[in-house]
Amino acid sequence: MDVVVTGRHCEVSERFREHVSEKLARLEKHDHRIMRVQVEVEQERNPRQHDRAVRVELTAFSKGPVIRAEAAAEDKMGALDLALDKMAAQMRRAADRRRVHHGRHAPVSVGQALADIAEPAVPEDEEVVTERQVGPITVTGDGPLVVREKSHGATPMTLDTALYEMELVGHDFYLFVDKDSERPSVVYRRRGYDYGVISLDLDR
């Protein structure tokens, strides 16, 4: 397994590179197909973020889907350990999910998913104050606040593959194009191995 370490706004010593290679070797017991792991170390320039001064992002490339995990801590060693623990946990969850009998754990219907996330009714004379937490910032109001944008290629896949890849990246949801219906869809985690799926009807 090849390990590539790069630094942004910081120096990465040869000793740290060797430490990273030794630590990442444990990932092979979770997924023997891993061919390369890219490690990006970034120094936070804001002095107020001293407890999250260093961010480490791991990206593992294998014969299967790409796996990512990131974490932040006061130093490189701490951030690396946190990110490594996250990636190992994601690999274990993905392996466990493959062993689950799909007939007993089918995703809920779109109608049920929408019903579960429906907002409660609010009396007309009651003023609604929307409060959102965006990272460390609490935002009041219903105006849009875009803090990050990402664009990814969309290769059509089955629902089962989307669930598998969601576990590997460690997210609670996964956006994909359904291979059977060709619709943009989102699968999301509910409880344990229960999942929901929402798709868009482009014909309406």
Higher pLDDT, 54 or 191: 54
pLDDT score for 9 = 82
137 has which bridge partners?
134
Q: Give the predicted TM-score (pTM) of the model.
A: 0.52
pLDDT score for 82 = 92
With 60 as the cut, is the pLDDT of residue 45 above it? yes
- Phi, psi torsion values for 55, nearest 5 degrees: -115, 135
Question: Mind listing the domains of the chain with CATH numbers?
Answer: 2-99 (3.30.160.100), 107-119+149-204 (3.30.505.50)
Structure-token pair, residue 101: 């009998």
**Percentage with pLDDT > 70 across the chain:** 68
Of how many residues is the chain composed? 204
- Phi, psi torsion values for 193, nearest 5 degrees: -105, 25
Structural contact between residues 42 and 55, judged by C-beta atoms closer than 8 angstroms: yes
Give residue-wise pLDDT tens across range 139-180.
555 555 555 666 777 788 888 888 888 877 777 888 889 888
